[in-house]
């Protein structure tokens, strides 16, 4: 049960914000922030007021039920109304608990997505390319902006590794459940006996960190420059434009050579490094806060097998929530992606609520 004082504070805060915003006296820098806060509270203010009035509303109905002078029709109506009231109260309580859960500030951020071919040779690289195309299609449908940061191709159109930045609204909150091992089961084009092969690719989704989120000292960085090389050792250019940035305290190293400009490669490399360091710190804090928590959804554990794409059966299965969608083609086209993400989000919320009990 949520303390009534907590809900009363939400209602009072909403009322104060309403007066402040309508006064026209708020500093322009604060207006957007307060407007967003007011908008968020607006979504639950009606539920908050009903939650507060629940006990008095219930008491009134119970008076009718306990009144010996009440006729049968009135009692029947009161019984139904009381059942509806209790059911609505449970829904309101759940909604308010979700609203009051600690917010992950990273949810609002843009994301950096890294896809790497895993076990399975050429077939794994082809699957990595399929996954990247899927995220490209999802981004296009949602009108997100996807910018390629780094790409390493294999034979036959596959990808050894690809790193991209995705910008839009609440990107990380949508894509964070994609981190982990994605497994594919299908018959490769080169398979003459029709045998199903299993291969895998890893996906890492990191919140894109701004300089304000993370202080990186120049003295903690070692920057090496070298000549970019293409497939088979072929020289891409004749200048030392490729950059390798090593964060000495953590040992994290990032190499970038896609651009012909050393300056551009360094900027892209710093973007990736900042995201990895930010996620490293977030993971450390999260582990300290929840040592006894066994929530696997959205944990970002890249060694965890999270999903299987089975082509012979036309299905995609998420192992964290035991959800199977028999629409693999639609999923890879980005059509059924939201259905999976919504189920994962709901399950993660349920786990968070259970943890609070």
- Among 100, 125, 141, where does a domain finish? 100
- 56 lies in some domain: yes
Domain boundary among 65, 85, 100: 100
SS3 category, 140: helix
Residue 23, C-beta contacts closer than 8 angstroms, at least 6 positions apart: none
The phi and psi torsions of 156 (rounded to 5 degrees) equal 55, 30
- CA 154 centroid distance within chain: 29
Side-by-side strand order, sheet with 180-186: 145-153, 159-167, 111-117, 197-207, 180-186, 305-310, 315-318, 323-325
Q: What is the pTM of this model?
A: 0.71
CB 316 within 8 A of CB 325: yes
Does 292 fall in a domain? no
Query: Looking at residue 350, what is its pLDDT?
Result: 80
> How far lies 242's CA from each of 28, 102, 148, in Å?
43, 42, 16
- 273 and 180 share a domain? no
Asked whether residue 115 falls in the same domain as residue 203, the answer is yes
Q: Are residues 197 and 233 located together in one domain of the fold?
A: no
Sheet holding 252-256, edge to edge: 221-226, 242-247, 252-256
Question: Is 80 in the same domain as 9?
Answer: yes
**From the DSSP assignment, how many helices (H) and strands (E) are in the chain?**
8, 11
Contact 73, 45 (CB under 8 A): no
Residuewise pLDDT in 10s, the chain (357 residues): 888 999 999 999 999 999 988 888 888 778 888 888 898 899 899 999 999 999 999 999 999 999 888 888 999 999 999 999 999 999 998 889 878 877 777 888 999 999 999 988 899 999 999 999 999 999 999 999 999 999 999 988 899 999 999 999 889 999 999 999 999 999 987 676 778 999 999 999 999 988 777 888 889 999 998 887 654 334 445 567 889 999 999 999 999 888 888 889 999 999 999 999 988 888 887 776 555 444 445 544 556 799 999 999 999 999 999 999 999 999 999 999 999 998 998 888 887 777 655
Same-domain check for residues 109 and 84: no
Closest CA to 325 of 338, 314, 311: 314
| Judgement on whether residues 17 and 75 belong to the same structural domain of the protein | yes
Whether residue 35 lies inside any domain: the answer is yes
What kind and span of H or E run contains 296? none
Angstrom CA distances, 249 to 76, 191, 222, 316, stand at 71, 47, 11, 40
- Clarify whether residues 309 and 196 are in a common domain: yes
Q: What is the pLDDT of residue 189?
A: 75
Helix/strand/coil percent split, the chain, to 5? 50, 20, 25
Report CA-CA distances (Å) from 250 to 116, 125, 220.
22, 29, 9
Residues 110, 196, single domain; the answer is: yes
CB of 208 closer than 8 Å to CB of 330: no
How many domains does the chain fold into? 3
Q: Quick one: which H or E segment has residue 291? A: none
Q: Is 48 domain-assigned?
A: yes
Q: What is the CATH number of the domain that holds 250?
A: 3.30.160.20
**Torsion of the alpha carbons at 19, 109, 276 and 180, rounded to the nearest 10:** 120
| CATH (domain of 159) | 3.30.70.1660
Separation in Å, CA 189 to CA 156, 197, 228: 11, 11, 33
Residue 317 pLDDT: 97
Residues 200 and 302 in one domain: yes
> Do 161 and 41 reside in the same domain of the chain?
no
Distance CA 134, CA 334 (A): 6
169 plus 253 within the same structural domain: no
For residue 135, how many other CB atoms are within 10 A of its CB?
23
Domain hosting residue 199, numbered range: 105-208+297-356
C-alpha 281/C-alpha 342 separation (Å) is 27
Residues 346 and 266 grouped into a single domain: no
What pLDDT sits at residue 303?
Answer: 66
The one-character DSSP state at 209 is P
Of 287, 310, 329, which one is at a domain's C-terminal end?
Answer: 287
Helix locations, 67-196, DSSP H? 72-100, 121-141, 171-175
> In terms of C-beta density within 10 A (0-12 exposed, 13-18 middle, 19 or more buried), how is residue 337 classed?
buried
- Which pLDDT score is estimated for 294? 46
């Amino acid at each position: 049960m949520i303390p009534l004082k907590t809900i009363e504070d939400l209602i009072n805060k909403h009322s104060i914000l309403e007066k402040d915003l309508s006064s026209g006296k708020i500093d322009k820098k604060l207006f957007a922030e307060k407007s967003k806060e007011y908008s968020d509270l607006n979504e639950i203010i009606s539920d908050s007021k009903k939650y507060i009035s629940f006990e008095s509303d219930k008491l009134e109905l119970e008076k009718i039920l306990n009144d010996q002078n009440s006729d049968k029709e009135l009692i029947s109506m009161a019984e139904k109304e009381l059942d509806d009231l209790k059911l609505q109260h449970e829904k309101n309580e759940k909604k308010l608990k979700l609203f009051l859960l600690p917010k992950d500030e990273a949810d609002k951020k843009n994301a950096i997505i890294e896809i790497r071919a895993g076990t399975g040779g050429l077939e794994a690289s082809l699957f990595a390319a399929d996954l990247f195309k899927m995220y490209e299609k999802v981004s296009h449908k949602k009108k997100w902006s996807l910018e390629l940061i780094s790409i390493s191709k294999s034979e036959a159109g596959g990808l050894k590794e690809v790193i991209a930045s995705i910008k839009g609204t609440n990107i990380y909150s949508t894509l964070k459940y994609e981190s982990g091992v994605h497994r594919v089961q299908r018959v490769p084009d080169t398979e003459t006996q029709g045998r199903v092969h299993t291969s895998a690719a890893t996906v890492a989704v990191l919140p894109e960190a701004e300089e304000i989120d993370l202080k990186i000292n120049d003295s903690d960085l070692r920057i090496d420059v070298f000549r970019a090389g293409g497939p088979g050792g072929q020289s891409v250019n004749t200048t030392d434009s490729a950059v390798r940035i090593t964060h000495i305290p953590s040992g994290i190293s990032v190499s970038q050579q896609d651009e012909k400009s050393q300056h551009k490669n360094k900027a892209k490399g710093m973007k990736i490094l900042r995201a990895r360091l930010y996620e490293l710190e977030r993971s450390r804090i999260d582990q300290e806060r929840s040592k006894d928590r066994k929530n696997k959804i959205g944990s970002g554990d890249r060694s965890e097998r999270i999903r299987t794409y089975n082509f012979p059966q036309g299905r995609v299965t998420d192992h964290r929530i035991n959800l199977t969608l028999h629409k693999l083609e639609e999923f890879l086209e980005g059509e059924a992606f939201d259905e999976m993400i919504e189920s994962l989000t709901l399950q993660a919320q349920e786990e968070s609520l259970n943890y609070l009990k």
